[in-house]
Structure 1
Amino acid sequence: MRPSAARRSPQARRAPLAARPGLRVKSPDALLAESGTDLDGNGLARSMGLFQVVCFGIGAIVGTGIFVGLSDTVAHAGPAVLISFILAALTCIFTAFSFAELGGAIPVSGSSYSYAYATLGERTAFLVGWCLLLEYGVSVSAVAVGWGQYLNELLGSLTGWQLPAALASPPGDGGIVNVPAVVVLLLAATLLVRGIRESARATAAMAVLKIAVLLLFCAIALSAFRDGNLTPFAPEGVAGITSGASVAFFSYIGFDAITTAGEEVKNPRRNIPLAIMICIGVVTVLYCLVALSAIGALSAGDVADKPAALSLIVNHVTHSAVGGGVIAFGAVVAIASVVLAVMYGQTRILMSMSRDGLIPRVFARISPRTATPVANTWIVAVVFAVPAAVVPLDVVMNLTTIGTLAIMAVVNVSVMVLRRTRPGLARRFRVPLFPVSPLLGIAFSLYLIYGTGRATWLEFAGFLVVGAVVYALYGRRHSRLRTAQEPMPDEGAQSSEEAHRSEPAPLS
């Protein structure tokens, strides 16, 4: 007998690979059993119906990406921006199928973090949660930066006065500190801690308003449509379309925020998949219509790299600042709703990670009075107000995009793994053309990651390394699943002794 065998219990020798540190998998049943409450028994309230969830999804998606980021996409792709938006939409559609299946099968607040925990193991789940800091936390900073641009446009059209550049833009964009970005984050946090019912009503009203404003923009811009503005259609060729799609993808970030509401939605197994499909369809049609209208009304060269581009186009077409003021008002409301919805998603993901012990317990505490994670919400608002105040928008957008694409690739892998490991799990929605659809989702995600550029790859690699270190130093040691699976020291010693006694005596 080898000496090491006596020191290992039979359970340890038979332990599956998934039970080892970093590869521990949390079953969907355990995720569902723990959902809806914090570690002290305080619970969330299921108060969102299908309409509220759809509006919440549109509220999370439509904002800075189209109102501010359109000009950046045009700078890369030219009039072929339309194809860039369609390419980005295809990536989202294939991945949306996977999110819809997983969101219906495991309706919890952790979204892609929880799906990775149930399929790929704890270490991967932690890194997904780490990347979600980019998709939700850092992107909310980017969204807040864009809010300041349109707020100044609105103030200029109404009063002729604007905030000084030093107080309305971050360093690198001609300013010192972006005060409006900080203000909108604090306002969103104030509304979120009041309760999910109030937040859902506000998000629904803002979603309806911004769709109306974008349709108004399309009507005005199409009245001045010129075919000549569409030529040359792709001045930078395929490379320009690809890089444009990577930028345009930022405009779609947020549809997966619907899955973070899994513990506060009525009939989540039905409403979450349905809401995801409705949101992707509405937003794709709307974005393509806006992009086509914008380039048709004003040449790509005049739109590229212009702040508040939609207001600029309307002012050009109407020869008045009034129309641009209306668009600016819609953008201010639209971007504020994105801040609200995305900050909501970030707090719910952190709450799930905290419940699992991977981050400090303060993020899981739910107020018994408002049924919201109050401390969690204020921490998120204050922490991400810093990059919103001092980091230029384009820097934040690139890193956010690659982090989100990486998460989408993981979600497509997760849906395939869960089909294999839990084929009998209840699913109200199933990915069509399985496994072709998730494989295409992975391929499109990797293709757009390629388009983000080498500098962004290196920044993201460094970000992942930091996340792995944080997991090793804190998450792995404090994991509640590790505590539940590993025997106490006395039990381990007893098992070793029993194993030693059960071994046959060596032959002399």
Structure 2
Amino acid sequence: MDLFRCKPAERALEEENSHSFKRALNGFHLILLGIGCIVGTGIFVLTGTAAAEHAGPALAISFVISGLGCLCSGLCYAEFASMIPLSGSAYSYAYATIGELLAWIIGWDLILEYLVGAATVASGWSGYAIKLISQFGLRIPPELSHAALSFKGEHLSATGAFLNVPAVFVIVLITCILMVGIQESALVNSIIVGVKLTVIAAFLIFCYPHIEASNWSPFIPPNAGHVGVYGWTGIFAAAGIIFYAYIGFDAVSCAAQEVVKPSRDLPIGILGSLLVCTVLYISVSLVLTGIVPYKELNVAAPVALAVERCGPTLAWLRPWIEIGALGGLSSVVLVLLLAQPRIFHRMAMDGLFPKAFAQVHPKFRTPTTTTLLTGLCAAILAGVFPIDVLSSMVSIGTLLAFTIVCLSVVILRKIRPELQRQFRTPWVPFVPIAGAIICLGQMLFLPLATWIRLIVWLVLGMAIYFGYGYRHSRLNRRSSDR
């Protein structure tokens, strides 16, 4: 039983064009997909908490540190994406370096990042949508606007609600868009990202004159006597919190087989979106802490609070901030629901999932079967389960994938140095190892309950692999034929 058989990178390259996807995306589309997935609640929510409780005005430094940490992983993704431009993302990269079993674990783990992530963000979208429509005198009954289950202690219990209808609605709507075609999906994402960036730009431009430099003094508040509360330890603590604001750039690689020039444009999309988002995050954090004293920013909507402090002249901007937040979450759901079906498709092409998962619609040229499956599962999760349980699973699943990709770059450089790499991660092995250490460090600070859920999830995945995937693997069939 060869559990660590690898699929040679040459074979992966041969399979690059053996599909029915439509190549319609370029580097600009990929940057917008990355921004669409990265910029969500992080810029509208996490900035306030991180500044008020940990970094103060030095939150801008925290974003630089966190951005550099994500850049290490992003550089590793960029190298693999240029070398193995398949829609399987980290799964395909692991398959070429560390073998089928670990590739399966990563593919199974990516469900936590993309499918469960979409459900988590849709739950957050529901809260913003309910708040926005309430301003127009409309009201959704609690029974139809909350999850049916809540998590108390270590047990799930019924809330009395029936279904989180707004969360289900946004997933169903976006699933329908994704089934129509990649060009249409990219267009919708571009429009949403355009609205989101316009709102953020308006906030920066119109609120900048209201900055009081005294709010930035001291820029690095003295430590309050506890580790992680202001001072340099607070800056690093805040960097750990806002690390999750960067998650999403890796979803760009899932569109590899729909990119006209993937080896060139995928690194542009991954690194370009990270750069743009880092600049946005730093700019917003400086304006926020310049308008509102940092200790007052520990609120659910810090950006809206900053606009309010600017006075009645900017009252018109407040509803647009909520629209921007809603749009931000919408594009995140779209990109996550775009990524997951392509992971399923790639795994089915390798024989690890049933052949039905590999079907591509002859007219729309999208993986309609897996798109429907992903939308259905995400809608059930978002409608029934509480957001806190879902979000912790997304974090650990994403960080595990990042860690494996970083380590895989080092391994493949050692065992296959002759492979053509149109983009090369600089300073190997230092950059990949730094990325892996940063991600592992973040994982270690997650609650024990999250680790237990991850183990249970992986055990379930192993049962499916040994019950179906191993026997039906294309590599297994090839070795049997020999």
Same fold (TM over 0.5): yes
Q: Note the alpha carbon deviations across 1:51-93, whole angstroms, 9 max, x for none.
A: 1111111112112332344455457535254444333322210
Asked whether 1:27 is paired with 2:8, we answer yes
| 1:420 alignment partner, one of 396, 414, 418 | 414
> What is residue 154 of structure 2 aligned with on the other side?
none
Question: Deviation at 1:145?
Answer: 1.4
Distance 1:164 1:305, change over 3 A: farther
Does structure 2 retain, via aligned residues, the 8 Å contact 1:399–1:456?
yes
Question: Deviation at 1:346?
Answer: 0.8
Asked whether 1:59 is paired with 2:41, we answer no
Does structure 2 retain, via aligned residues, the 8 Å contact 1:220–1:314?
no
> What is residue 88 of structure 1 aligned with on the other side?
66
Does structure 2 retain, via aligned residues, the 8 Å contact 1:213–1:327?
yes
Question: Deviation at 1:245?
Answer: 3.5
Question: Deviation at 1:242?
Answer: 5.2
> SS state of the match for residue 140, structure 2?
coil
> What is residue 504 of structure 1 aligned with on the other side?
none
Question: Deviation at 1:385?
Answer: 1.2
Distance 1:362 1:75, change over 3 A: farther
> SS state of the match for residue 193, structure 1?
helix
Question: Deviation at 1:284?
Answer: 0.8
Distance 1:289 1:378, change over 3 A: same
> What is residue 166 of structure 2 aligned with on the other side?
180
Amino acid in the other structure paired with 1:254: G
Asked whether 1:203 is paired with 2:189, we answer yes
Distance in 2 (CA, whole Å) between partners of 1:169 and 1:424 is: 54
Amino acid in the other structure paired with 1:202: V
> What is residue 11 of structure 1 aligned with on the other side?
none
Asked whether 1:480 is paired with 2:474, we answer yes
The 5-angstrom pairing of residues 330-349 of structure 1 reads: 330-349=324-343
Distance in 2 (CA, whole Å) between partners of 1:360 and 1:244 is: 43
| 2:111 alignment partner, one of 133, 141, 153 | 133
> SS state of the match for residue 486, structure 1?
helix
> What is residue 227 of structure 2 aligned with on the other side?
237
**Structure ID, larger Rg:** 1
Distance 1:466 1:223, change over 3 A: farther
Question: Deviation at 1:99?
Answer: 0.6
> SS state of the match for residue 351, structure 1?
helix
Amino acid in the other structure paired with 1:237: V
The 5-angstrom pairing of residues 264-279 of structure 1 reads: 264-279=258-273
Does structure 2 retain, via aligned residues, the 8 Å contact 1:135–1:253?
no
> What is residue 115 of structure 1 aligned with on the other side?
93
Q: Percent same amino acid among aligned pairs?
A: 36
> SS state of the match for residue 361, structure 2?
coil
Distance in 2 (CA, whole Å) between partners of 1:462 and 1:192 is: 31
> What is residue 307 of structure 2 aligned with on the other side?
314
Distance 1:472 1:243, change over 3 A: farther
Distance 1:329 1:241, change over 3 A: same
> What is residue 395 of structure 1 aligned with on the other side?
389
Distance 1:474 1:145, change over 3 A: same
Distance 1:204 1:268, change over 3 A: same
Range moving further from structure 2, 406-415 or 223-232: 223-232
> SS state of the match for residue 266, structure 1?
coil
> What is residue 13 of structure 1 aligned with on the other side?
none
Q: TM-score, normalised by structure 1?
A: 0.84
Structure 1, unpaired ranges of 5+ = 1-19, 489-508
> SS state of the match for residue 237, structure 1?
coil
Distance 1:424 1:45, change over 3 A: same
> SS state of the match for residue 257, structure 2?
coil
Distance 1:297 1:425, change over 3 A: same
Distance 1:107 1:245, change over 3 A: same
The 5-angstrom pairing of residues 216-255 of structure 1 reads: 216-226=202-212, 227-228=214-215, 232=221, 237-238=227-228, 244-255=238-249
Asked whether 1:153 is paired with 2:131, we answer yes
Distance 1:83 1:99, change over 3 A: same
Q: Note the alpha carbon deviations across 1:332-383, whole angstroms, 9 max, x for none.
A: 2221111111111111111101111112222211001100011111110110
Distance 1:393 1:271, change over 3 A: same
Distance in 2 (CA, whole Å) between partners of 1:276 and 1:309 is: 28
The 5-angstrom pairing of residues 6-85 of structure 1 reads: 20-37=1-18, 43-71=20-48, 73-74=50-51, 77=54, 79=56, 81-85=59-63
> What is residue 349 of structure 2 aligned with on the other side?
355
Range moving further from structure 2, 461-470 or 77-86: 77-86
Distance 1:383 1:331, change over 3 A: same
RMSD: 2.5
Distance in 1 (CA, whole Å) between partners of 2:141 and 2:239 is: 33
Q: TM-score, normalised by structure 2?
A: 0.89
Does structure 2 retain, via aligned residues, the 8 Å contact 1:246–1:452?
no
Distance in 2 (CA, whole Å) between partners of 1:74 and 1:125 is: 38
Distance in 2 (CA, whole Å) between partners of 1:138 and 1:334 is: 18
Distance in 1 (CA, whole Å) between partners of 2:414 and 2:82 is: 17
Amino acid in the other structure paired with 2:165: V
> SS state of the match for residue 310, structure 2?
helix
> What is residue 499 of structure 1 aligned with on the other side?
none
> What is residue 498 of structure 1 aligned with on the other side?
none
